[in-house]
Amino acid sequence: MKNRQRNTGRAGEALHAAERAGKGALHGTERAGKGTVHAAERAGAEAVHAAERAGAEAVHAAQVLRREPFWQAQAALLGALILYLTVPGKLILGPTWLMPALELLLVVGLWLDRPRASRVDASRERRIVLVLLVLVACANLASLELLVHYLLHGGKAGGRPLIISSIVIWLTNVAVFALWYWQLDRGGPDRRARGLEGEPDFLFVQMSEEGFESWAPAFLDYLYTSFTNATALSPTDTMPLTIRAKMSMMAQSIISLITIVLVAARAVNILS
């Protein structure tokens, strides 16, 4: 009798254990199902957000390209490169391919610096462009120094090559500083187009006129600023506002002054 009761008790315990195991398995299945549903919902939400971000970035890239057409800067640089090929080898510091190679690298750097839908931050590419710009400016300045040295100590020379060389150096100076102003002002073209710019480095006429609230300078505006500064040897209708802008325009005016006054005058004197 006692054995029978013990067996009955054990059977009851086994039954309860089986019920608990079944309930646990059921709850586990329910939790797993809910977890799967939540994971699927999160994955779907993340996919939607990723698609929205990609769409927003694509729209931003198109807006930047419309407001800041990078091909204008590339075309100006390629024009300076073609002109520089006419400079005699004795007026080029180092190998004759150095300056064209630097300018080609700068063209590639500008291509990499263009806005793309897959990239939000362009600070690294912008730093590369600025370094290449400094190198091109230094190479052009070295050519000017060699030209001045040749005029003062190199003896007689034909006036035509000297005039052509001085014009090429002057035009390269205009193109390089136009690119510099374009990259310098308010953090560069990409930040200006995003609306993330800081304080302006240059004051354009349109910025103080009514009806131009949505106006923003493009590369051709900086090219015009560079040209007028190199021609008049001082700011004209665009005023520098920051120290770095003032120092940049002063450096360009000094280079232009040396090129125009010393080199061109000597070349014209040789022609006469």
Assess contact for 186 and 201: CB atoms under 8 A. yes
CA distance linking residue 203 with residue 208, whole number of Å: 8
Q: pTM here?
A: 0.68
Query: What tokens were used for 236?
Result: 């004209």
Residues 6+ apart with CB under 8 A from 111: 70, 74
| Residue the block writes with tokens 């120290």 | 243
Could you list the pLDDT tens digit for every one of the 272 residues in the chain?
A: 544 555 555 555 655 665 666 665 556 556 655 556 555 567 666 666 655 665 555 555 555 555 566 778 778 878 888 888 877 777 777 777 777 787 788 777 777 666 554 444 556 667 777 787 888 888 888 888 888 887 777 655 566 777 788 888 899 899 999 999 998 888 877 777 666 667 888 989 888 877 767 778 888 999 999 999 999 888 888 899 999 999 999 999 999 998 887 766 666 666 66
